[in-house]
């Protein structure tokens, strides 16, 4: 047993979508979340810049004595996972990508047409296609689409309105139709926040969320390494590099709790 906190981090607010799954599955676990809201989005930045930001956050979480790091960001997972594991070899580090790729590999058939939507950095890395094929080489109908405008719109809370729907149509109408997509992978932890938009616009699609699968992987790894908590020592704490109104509102939207209940703290990283 280990009652130290689990450290989640993301380029912004998207990683928050993994937290409700953890709270339901593992109610005794304490969570420390860091969202780099001052420097989001990461998906259009260079790999070197993403790496620099990621290692700063890793150091922050190490100082918080976390027992596990969860990269609740597909962009970071696709570019910096190995760097983090080399830097912190004694801390288990969970990626958002491998658990999702495993679900796709195990649940899809060769005739399925699988669409992957993600940031520029994640799509250009090719990591989803590579991981899925490693686990099931029979899946060859894999198609990826960059959707760079989704993250900044979501970060601004522009979700339940015509602007977001028009953006979805712009990126995905031809992509879904031309490739006959039947399974859509949300390859960014921000994207579950527009899941209902996607279901309404494309009602026939099966949607797979990296946020949910990352949370499942956390439980498996905690059990595997005997790191499960047996009591709650402290409240969950949510940090941001810019504690904006949007960040607080999104926490309330996703978790359904107010700021006082969540014990939100502000942490500014020096560049």
Catalytic residue annotation: 73, 188
Residues 222, 229: Cα–Cα separation, whole Å: 9
Residues 197, 147: Cα–Cα separation, whole Å: 15
Q: What DSSP string runs through 203-235? A: TT-EEEEHHHHHHHHHHHHHHHTT---SS--S-
Q: In a 10 Å sphere around its CB, with 0-12 CB exposed, 13-18 middle and 19+ buried, how is residue 90 labelled?
A: exposed
Going by DSSP bridges, is the β-strand pair 142-146/183-186 parallel, antiparallel, or unpaired? unpaired
C-alpha pair distances (Å), 207 with each of 64, 199, 202: 35, 8, 10
Q: Order of strands, edge to edge, in the sheet holding 142-146?
A: 142-146, 114-118, 183-186, 206-209
Q: What DSSP string runs through 120-162? A: HHHHHHTHHHHHHHHH-TT---EEEEE-TTHHHHHHTT--SSH
- How many Cβ atoms sit within 10 Å of the Cβ of residue 170? 11
């Amino acid at each position: 047993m280990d009652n130290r906190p689990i450290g989640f981090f993301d380029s912004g607010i998207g990683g928050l979508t993994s937290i409700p799954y953890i709270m339901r599955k593992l109610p005794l676990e304490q969570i420390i979340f860091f969202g780099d809201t001052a420097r989001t989005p990461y998906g259009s930045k260079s790999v070197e810049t993403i790496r620099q930001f990621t290692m700063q956050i890793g150091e922050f979480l190490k100082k918080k004595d976390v027992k596990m790091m969860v990269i609740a960001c597909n962009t970071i997972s696709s570019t910096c996972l190995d760097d983090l594991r080399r830097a912190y070899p004694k801390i288990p580090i969970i990626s958002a990508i491998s658990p999702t790729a495993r679900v796709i590999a195990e649940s899809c058939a060769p005739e399925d047409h699988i669409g992957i939507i993600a940031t520029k950095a994640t799509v250009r890395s090719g990591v989803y296609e590579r991981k899925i094929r490693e686990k099931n080489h029979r899946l060859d109908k894999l198609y990826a689409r960059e959707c760079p405008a989704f993250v900044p719109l979501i970060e601004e809370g522009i979700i339940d309105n015509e602007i977001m729907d028009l953006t979805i149509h712009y990126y995905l109408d031809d992509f879904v139709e031309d490739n006959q997509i039947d399974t859509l992978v949300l390859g960014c932890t921000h994207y579950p926040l527009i899941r209902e938009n996607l279901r309404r616009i494309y009602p026939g699609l099966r949607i797979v969320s990296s946020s949910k699968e990352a949370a499942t992987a956390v439980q498996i790894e905690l059990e595997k390494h005997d790191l499960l908590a047996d009591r709650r020592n402290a409240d969950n704490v949510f940090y941001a590099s810019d504690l904006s109104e949007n960040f607080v509102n999104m926490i309330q939207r996703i978790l359904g709790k107010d700021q006082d209940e969540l014990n939100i703290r502000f942490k500014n990283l020096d560049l």
